[in-house]
Amino acid sequence: TTATGDFKVRDLSLAPWGRKEIQLAEHEMPGLMKLREEYGPSQPLAGARIAGSLHMTVQTAVLIETLVALGAQVRWASCNIFSTQDEAAAAIAVGPTGTPEAPAGVPVFAWKGETLEEYWWCAEQILVWPGGEGPNMILDDGGDATLLVHKGTEFEAAGAVPTATEEDPEEYRVILDLLRRSLGEDPQRWTRIGQGIKGVTEETTTGVHRLYEFARAGTLLFPAINVNDSVTKSKFDNKYGTRHSLIDGINRGTDTLIGGKVAVIFGYGDVGKGCAESLRGQGARVIITEIDPICALQAAMDGYQVTTLDEVVSTADLFITATGNKDIITAEDMAKMKHQAIVGNIGHFDNEIDMAGLERTPGVVRNRVKPQVDEWVFPDGHSIIVLSEGRLLNLGNATGHPSFVMSNSFANQTIAQIELFTKNDEYEKKVYVLPKHLDEKVARMHLDALGVKLTQLSKEQAEYIGVDVAGPYKPDHYRY
Ligand code: NAI
């Protein structure tokens, strides 16, 4: 990294390129631009100090500048070591009116290819604000910023930071080291930060899962809005987003022809459904693994073979994990795969594929093909290709989801931030989803751009099906 100030990015001279990409993306993000029009004059986020932890891409840049346009102060980090687009980070640091020589943008701490120590340092920078006041809102993706505040608060209450055990992942050791140093510097830092936060809005399935666990244990420190489970998020970003970006990542990483190959997708949830369609669209024969009978049956009815990894481990060409669960592909599985099989993960964390076990396999050799693409050669001479070291490949090998689908997700994020910040008294330390009328509002904001003409309900029809003419059009339990 070369450029630092109250920010740290790879190279500020990339800013003009990033700015051009941001301008193009704005046109593709009608939801965010309409929110700027609607809320710009009233500045509902004036006074909000948002700590944002979400992949620092071009689309996220448009989100950041939307939050700023609504009055917020923002500090930002990426939520993955490989997912930053350096030109977008540079453009955010420079800002629309600054120059690379005189940056005047948002404090952003993100570059592509961070170490784990750097990653958690960046997370700390968005939460520990210079000067007296800390953040009063978190915007999280995967829950790492929220986790740091909760763990810090927990250890400060105990007066000590535990030592990592053998079973703990390496990353946990890094977190503990950071918090140990912090405790030495200021024994109440995280408690204060936690108390100052009015709420968090969480982007993804895995982060939402963590929030419900805190809530169940009674340790959630502030209210949370689960953005993931807005219909216009998980049924769009997770599905149509991965349908675009999975294949993009595989192509940019390997340029291997997908047609005619056999691809295994682990998990047939929202992400798995998009991934399966993505590969089928390229002419692959797609096989699904599932643990849930409902999703397994769905996959079968959608025309996919559903089986176990053992049945296909030595014959399939591509293996993509999309479960949000751990230990999906083991080192022993990878040893059994055929020569130059491609292995990747699109779930939030890197524990779906046992990379540590692969590294420990006796005689295995790792050859770097290029950044985020490695060939792992086994002692018998056969090799496999692992994308993004087992981290989410659509952001590591490509640039994540395209703007239009992220406009839906980020419109939900922006609305959720406004909700929690402006109506904070109405929320307890629980996890909420946005009401359906706001979900429908997000969808509505994206119809014109696609030339969609909506049919208008008559008053009689509305009464007949028991809804209001203006919506919501479905009961909360409807599943889409
Ligand atoms: P989901 O809960 O809808 O789907 C996960 C599926 O995996 C479930 O159907 C579950 O039954 C299945 N599963 C769990 N354990 C399994 C196992 N051992 N073997 C086979 N299947 C198993 O979750 P969703 O929304 O599809 O998200 C999956 C992951 O992707 C999460 O970590 C989420 O945070 C992440 N995500 C990543 C995105 C990206 O751009 N890379 C975008 C959105 C979500």
- Reduce the secondary structure of 39-100 to three states and give it as a string: HCCCCCCCCCEEEEECCCCHHHHHHHHHHHHCCCEEEEECCCCCCCCHHHHHHHHHCCCCCC
Q: Does position 267 have pLDDT exceeding 90, yes or no?
A: yes
Q: What is the arithmetic mean of pLDDT over 207-224? A: 98
pLDDT tens-digit series, residues 65-106: 999 999 999 999 999 999 999 999 999 999 999 999 999 999
The interface predicted TM-score of the complex, written ipTM, equals: 0.99
Residue 4, φ and ψ in degrees, nearest 5:
-135, 155
Other beta carbons within 10 angstroms of residue 141's beta carbon come to: 26
Share of the chain above pLDDT 90, in %: 97
346 C-beta closer than 6 A to ligand 1: yes
Length of the chain in terms of residues written: 480
Atom 4 in ligand 1: residue holding the nearest Cα: 269
Q: How many other C-beta atoms are found inside a 10 Å radius of the C-beta of residue 224?
A: 29
* pLDDT tens per residue, range 318-348: 999 999 999 999 999 999 999 999 999 999 9
Virtual torsion, Cα 366, 369, 371, 375, nearest 10 deg: -40
- pTM value is 0.98
Q: What pLDDT shows up at residue 131?
A: 87
- Residue 273 Cα to ligand 1 midpoint, Å, equals 10
Determine contact, residues 446/407, Cβ cutoff 8 Å: yes
Expressed in angstroms and rounded, the spacing between residue 204 Cα and the centre of ligand 1 is 10
Mean per-residue pLDDT, 183-206: 97
Are the C-beta atoms of 263 and 279 separated by less than 8 Å? yes
pLDDT at 468: 98
Q: For residue 367, give the H/E element and its range.
A: strand 365-370
Ligand 1 binding pocket includes 324 (Cβ within 6 Å): yes
Burial class from Cβ neighbours inside 10 Å (0-12, 13-18, 19+) for residue 113 reads: middle
Stretch 222-230: mean pLDDT: 98
| Residue range 202-208: mean pLDDT, rounded | 98
**321 known member of a binding site:** no
Residue percentage of the chain with pLDDT more than 70: 100
Confidence of residue 1 (pLDDT cuts 50, 70, 90): low
Looking at residue 4, what is its pLDDT? 82
The tens digit of pLDDT for each residue in 417-466 reads 999 999 999 999 999 999 999 999 999 999 999 999 999 999 999 999 99
Mean of the per-residue pLDDT values of the chain: 97
**DSSP secondary-structure letter at 455?**
P
CB 248 within 8 A of CB 177: no
* Pocket test residue of 271, 395, 410 for ligand 1, highest count of atoms within 8 A of CB: 271
Residue 3, pLDDT score: 78
Consult the annotation and say whether 235 binds a ligand: no
pLDDT tens column, 15-43: 999 999 999 999 999 999 999 999 999 99
Binding site membership of 269 for ligand 1 (Cβ less than 6 Å) = yes
Instruction: Tell me the β-bridge partners of 52.
Output: 76, 139
* DSSP letter (8 states) at residue 392: B
Instruction: Decide: 295 in ligand 1 pocket, CB within 6 A.
Output: yes
Question: Would you say 390 is a known binding-site residue?
Answer: no
